[in-house]
Chain A
Amino acid sequence: MAREKGVVLLDFWVSPFGQRVRIALAEKGVDYEYKEQDLFNKSEHLLKSNPVYKKIPVLLHDGKPICESLIIVQYIDEVWSDKAPLLPDEPLARANARFWADFIDKKVYECGTRLWKLKGEEQEAAKKEFVEIFKLLQGELGDRKFFGGETFGFLDLALVPFVAWFYAYETFAKFSMDEECPKIVAWAKRCMERESVSKTLSDPNKVYEFVLFLKEKFGVEY
């Protein structure tokens, strides 16, 4: 089978995981072909590229697939190492960045999903948990400009795509991230000053509409 040269990204427009990869590619100035996937009717290309999980994002580099967003981002950082380093150099800082990115992976999306899927007491519990998660992240950020310090890096891009989901979460679960985690909101604004982020993140209104669509699809009451 002839390998297609170049960089191809199999992705879904609103996916925060896919957006991590798009931000990384933009930071590195890498040209790539974006291929939007229909997650409700998965293509042969996607199923063959990620037979284990059948999920996006998948990066294909000269035909070779790499899966799992944070693994893809580390791959991008290692291949295009001449520009915009994403992971810090220092071993402890690297371990720290990986730890918190893994924490984000374990906690944020799953908890966020409960915010719009559940109601009543369960939703309240999810809201409390969501705020706790972000308060921990806020603590980790401290008074720094970015999680990477002075420079935008791995941990910033691991988290920032979820900011586009704040409006949807806040609306469904009735709370305000600005009130609960103001430093996170301020950090998000600083990230949005970067073109790689502002051009990648979904419009929060569109995310909200997407969640409405999901609610209907999964039969969740409004």
Chain B
Amino acid sequence: MAEEVKLIGLSMSMFVIRVKIALNLKGVKYENLEETFGSKSEVLLKSNPIYKKIPVLIHNGKTICESMIIVQYVDDVWSGAGPSIVPSDPFDAAMARFWSYYIDDKWFPAYGEVMKGQTREAKIEAAKEAIAKLQPLEEVFQKQSKGKDFFGGDTIGYLDIALGCYLGWIKAAEKLTGLEFFDKSETPLLAAWAECFYSNDAVKCIMPDVDEFVEFAIKIQAKLNA
């Protein structure tokens, strides 16, 4: 049976970017169903009635929701293709899952404050908090990468995807605040990783330009302040 893979999302969404990277790593062709920012399509509401959120993967008519759950699903289904995304060692897998959870649970809200900040000063203060929360990941990278380019080792893995999806948004925050999120002296490993990840083939073809993120951030800010 021919595979039918569709992805409901928004190209600016870091959570959608996660799924696109996973699909690209596995060489899976998919139909991109782009939502309109500010409204939700019937397809989305039907496919994700619980949360009504993107991304949603539709594979041969079946829906899968929640970005990192979709990433694991892609890894399971296309296990023979491309690199393994979830580490095969159970402890490494647990570490990847834990730090991915930390990124969404603790780091992302701190980052969110940068976008919400109404003045440049407020954004800078918030950015300092967000940068501090990235600090623990320098040691995690050292342990998980085992001297290679990615958290996943030689190839992009689960934790790379979980954090790397934010890079476009991080670069936008850097433009808005003048601060560096991955300081080469404070977090040299993460700084090198960010460059490697951002320039990877599976990533650069789907990652929007930094200016698009900046423009979008301004749009969201206007909506929040309305």
Check if A and B associate. Answer: yes
Q: A52-B136, A78-B90 are in contact. Are A95 and B72 (CB under 8 A)?
A: yes
Chain B 75-94 interface mask (CB, 8 Å, partner A; 1/0): 01100000000000011011
Question: Is A72 engaged at the interface, CB distance under 8 Å to the other chain?
Answer: yes
Question: Is A219 engaged at the interface, CB distance under 8 Å to the other chain?
Answer: no
Whole-angstrom CA separation of A52 from B72 in the bound complex: 24
Whole-angstrom CA separation of A67 from B93 in the bound complex: 12
Question: Is B97 engaged at the interface, CB distance under 8 Å to the other chain?
Answer: yes
Question: Is A35 engaged at the interface, CB distance under 8 Å to the other chain?
Answer: no
Decide if the interface of chain A is mainly helix, strand, loop or mixed. Answer: helix
Question: Is B108 engaged at the interface, CB distance under 8 Å to the other chain?
Answer: no
Whole-angstrom CA separation of A179 from B59 in the bound complex: 37
A71 CB contact (under 8 Å) in B70, B76, B101, B136: B101
Chain A 151-164 interface mask (CB, 8 Å, partner B; 1/0): 00000000000000
Whole-angstrom CA separation of A52 from B97 in the bound complex: 14
Which of chain A's residues have a CB closer than 8 A to the CB of B64? 92, 95, 99
Decide if B93 touches A75 in the complex (CB within 8 Å). Answer: yes
Question: Is A74 engaged at the interface, CB distance under 8 Å to the other chain?
Answer: yes
Decide if A75 touches B69 in the complex (CB within 8 Å). Answer: no
Chain B 113-144 interface mask (CB, 8 Å, partner A; 1/0): 00000000000000000000000100000000
- Please report A residues at the B interface, Cβ cutoff 8 Å: 52, 61, 64, 66-68, 71-72, 74-75, 78-79, 91-92, 94-95, 98-99, 102-103, 136
**Contact sample, A vs B, 15 pairs, CB 8 Å cutoff:** A52-B136, A64-B91, A67-B98, A68-B101, A71-B94, A71-B97, A71-B98, A75-B90, A91-B77, A94-B73, A94-B76, A95-B69, A95-B76, A98-B69, A99-B66
- Please report B residues at the A interface, Cβ cutoff 8 Å: 50, 59, 62, 64-66, 69-70, 72-73, 76-77, 90-91, 93-94, 97-98, 101-102, 106, 136
